[in-house]
Amino acid sequence: MSGGALVLGEVRGGRLARASAEAVTVARRLVGPAGSGTVTGLVLAGAPAAAASELARTGVDRVLAVSDPTFDAFHASRTAAVAAAVATERSAAHVVVGGTAAGRELVGRLAARWDAAAVTGVVDLVPDGDRGFRAVRTVFSGRAFEEVRLEGPRAVWGTHPLAFAAPPPGPEAPVEARAISGGPSPVPGTAVGFEAASNASGPDLAEATVVVSGGRGLRAPENFHLVEELAGALGGAVGASRAVTDAGWRPTSYQVGQTGRTVTPQLYVAVGISGAIQHLVGMVGSRTIVAINSDPNAPIFKVADYGVVGDLFQIVPALTAEVRKVRGA
Amino acid sequence: MEILVLVKAVPDPEARLRPNAAGTAPDLDGVKWVLAGYDESAVEQALLLREAVPDSHVRALAVGPAPRTEEVLRAALALGCDGATWVEPPADLAIDPLLAARALAAAGRRSPFQLVLVGKQAMDDEAGLVGPAVAEHLAVPDFGPVVDLRWDAAGGRFRFARAVEGGLERLEAPPPIVVALQQAWNDPRTAKLQNVLRSRRAPIEKVPWPEVAAALGDRRARSVRTAFRLPPPRSGAKMIEYSTPEEAAQKLVRALREEARTFP
């Protein structure tokens, strides 16, 4: 498969979502070195200019910016319609979508509309001879990997958050304002409110490069600040085990595990978490795992890279202080 | 209200996972196939809505091979679904998620519905493609990943929340819609023995493959699994030896900076 690629630039709070920049990295690999295929960025928003400009500096060849306030609300069907129309117009062979909630929703809808093969949760690409690339992804709650080949003339690739590096900002490619309707699509729902998660002050769990999670070893909800302070010092997000959310110490939005969120940060710190399988499947894809636990036989030490056996009420404050010292904060 | 709930037979999540000899697929010899995870939540959500909305019916719909697909449809009937519809593909046809979505949409549109419920992803391949793709083929809106779905009888619309980055987006939408459910936020019921026995004799509607085959589109476009493997076993944590908490902190930070290179 060859030909150009289209990257959907998702706008969040007026800025380009990092997952969209990560998608450009995938698109560049799919089309080959500069000159062998073009990468087009597409931004759909009421005010797309800032995000379009950011996307234009990620190494794409051009950006199409569609200014339409209806895109500021959730509208997967219409986004899919416009993306399919643009991909067809530009004779693209690939569309790449970043791994956000909206992105995951879009892949299936777009593939159905564009009559393409599709894959989601891509964590790596491996060369596949003259066919291009196979996608590597995790299956069975992170317990296994599979490789998938997309056959046919068109393919939609959904990336896994943080699996690919976002390109460093470079020279700005041309940005072209366009009006594209994409044809009929069903009327979506009406947004009537937004409830920010109580852990929304830091980075989102799924997108954080560092996650610090607390478990039952903290003994009481009033001790959870130890986890929050360490996460704050590391610039990371706060998570929790199911024991903590089931006990009501923290809302379910904090939960990492099979019935909660799956996270894949560069650094995962498990504080007072024994490591039940239901928790492990939500974090085992993390690059480096640190476990702090008083029980040397806790299963968490089997999946961790570094372990500290000891009293978390002493270790965690010392670690927070050391991190602040080293990071100069 | 007519509710369609899409289900899929998946290998028992408790079963040990290993690749086949060729390393191209999981070895599923002797594995038990079950209704599990997000699909179980979707069935529960459908039954809760039926209990809340008078004159509602829940039909489970699945595409897949015998006998596993029939078995999970019977499991859905045992949980309380009113009917079950099975699309059985030819034995030699590989079904990828987008082909499954086309077949499910073709079978689903044969009768009116106000709601299509689906798990946000299957427990096995975790693709998450079927819900949005079915919605596109049915030309109705889709929403996912959804928590807390309710029917507002006075307003004639569904009220629900999408779990998105940073919080919950509250939405309302009139029927018909497709909803992909986030997680087991409800507590799925277990089937009563008498219902399990009754479900074994319950009729299952079968949709002949030629009836959906016309809707299957460009068959050149498909995904093919070429490899399946387990992650390399982790060798166990390198334990930090220390005499004071401060020393533990210093050694750990040094290891993260100099060895792992994942210190932010």
Q: Domains along chain A? A: 4-178 (3.40.50.620), 205-327 (3.40.50.1220)
The full set of domains in chain B, from first to last, is 2-213 (3.40.50.620), 231-264 (no CATH)
pLDDT at A1: 42
pLDDT at A326: 92
Which of A146, A154, A315 is most worth mutating to test chain B (most B CB atoms within 10 A of its CB)? Answer: A146
How far apart CA B232 and CA A119 sit, in angstroms, is 23
Q: Which two tokens stand for residue A315?
A: 């270790």
Which of A104, A131, A160, A312 is most worth mutating to test chain B (most B CB atoms within 10 A of its CB)? Answer: A104
Burial of A167 (0-12, 13-18, 19+ CB in 10 A): middle
pLDDT, greater one: A187 or A127: A127
pLDDT at A311: 97
Q: Is the pLDDT of residue B135 over 80?
A: yes
Is B216 part of the contact surface with chain A (CB cutoff 8 Å)?
no
pLDDT at B234: 74
Q: Which two tokens stand for residue A16?
A: 């380009």
Interface of B with A in 135-174 (CB under 8 A): 135-137, 139-145, 158-159, 161-173
Which residue does chain A place closest to B185, by CA atoms? A259
Q: What is the pLDDT of residues B58-97, one digit of tens each?
A: 999 999 999 999 999 999 999 999 999 999 999 888 899 9
Q: Looking at the partner chain, which of A74, A121, A187 has a beta carbon nearest the beta carbon of B162? A: A74
Q: Is the pLDDT of residue A2 over 70?
A: no
Q: What is the pLDDT of residues A51-81, one digit of tens each?
A: 999 999 999 999 999 998 888 877 889 999 9
Burial of A277 (0-12, 13-18, 19+ CB in 10 A): middle
Burial B43-59 (b: 16+ CB within 10 A, else e): bbbbbebbeeeeebebb
- Nearest-CA neighbor of A151 among A110, A107, A116? A116
Which of B17, B20, B129 is most worth mutating to test chain A (most A CB atoms within 10 A of its CB)? Answer: B129
The answer to whether the Cβ–Cβ distance between B165 and A326 falls below 8 Å is no
Which residue does chain B place closest to A107, by CA atoms? B129
Q: Which two tokens stand for residue A205?
A: 């769990």
* Cα radius of gyration rounded to whole Å, chain A: 21
Sequence-distant (≥ 6) Cβ neighbours of residue A285 within 8 angstroms = A123, A138, A142, A262, A263, A264
Which residue does chain A place closest to B175, by CA atoms? A189
Sequence-distant (≥ 6) Cβ neighbours of residue A169 within 8 angstroms = A54, A57, A58
Q: What is the pLDDT of residues A263-317, one digit of tens each?
A: 888 999 999 999 988 788 889 888 899 999 999 999 999 999 999 999 999 999 9
Whole-structure pTM over 0.90, yes or no? Answer: no
Its ipTM equals 0.91
How far apart CA A152 and CA B174 sit, in angstroms, is 36
State the CB neighbour count (10 A cutoff) for residue B218: 13
Which residue does chain B place closest to A327, by CA atoms? B264
Is B214 part of the contact surface with chain A (CB cutoff 8 Å)?
no
Is B188 part of the contact surface with chain A (CB cutoff 8 Å)?
no
Q: Average pLDDT in the A207-226 region?
A: 93
Residues in chain B: 264
How far apart CA A120 and CA A19 sit, in angstroms, is 13
